[in-house]
Structure 1
């Protein structure tokens, strides 16, 4: 019984590892694109802040701009963290799905045999 199931095992790891590799690559690409977008958004925010600082006439305006930058920076950080967390969670689910499917199939085949 076990020998008949073991003959099918070599096919499954190859497909499983291919699928894991493809999913990992896709998740890595998504994370890279999200990182680039976050860096771009942060750089644009910093440049607009510098432009506003150059135009400030009073020290109170500078303080207001600085406090506004900190608030917006924290909001952006929280939002970007949530996006990365969601993407990472989705990525882990996608990467582990082939393993889960292979294990479920092996258990189903083992119960059937």
Structure 2
């Protein structure tokens, strides 16, 4: 059975790119555009990995990471942050919030797929 990946990304083109790329590598990908729906979708989908943008409207990726890591049903699921924040302090802050991996935008397709595989 294919590993499941939940993608939380507000940009429709990026969401489509990430989901299509994951599906091309035989993962079952589901997308969420609104971060406010991410926790409930994660509970329903129970992914093996969550790929999440940090810059989201309405709720930040930092807040979502904290919510998911505090939820007993979700806390063991690895989270990979994908963000335009590219500084060293940004990566440290993202990892301190609870993300297990970090990929900066614009993404390298090979690095993205390698990071996903490494977490799964």
TM interval, short-chain normalised: under 0.3
Larger relative contact order (CA 8 Å, sep ≥ 6): 1
Q: Which has the larger radius of gyration?
A: 1
Structure with a larger share of its residues in helix: 1
Give the TM-score normalised by the residue count of structure 1: 0.18
Give the TM-score normalised by the residue count of structure 2: 0.18
Structure with a larger share of its residues in strand: 2
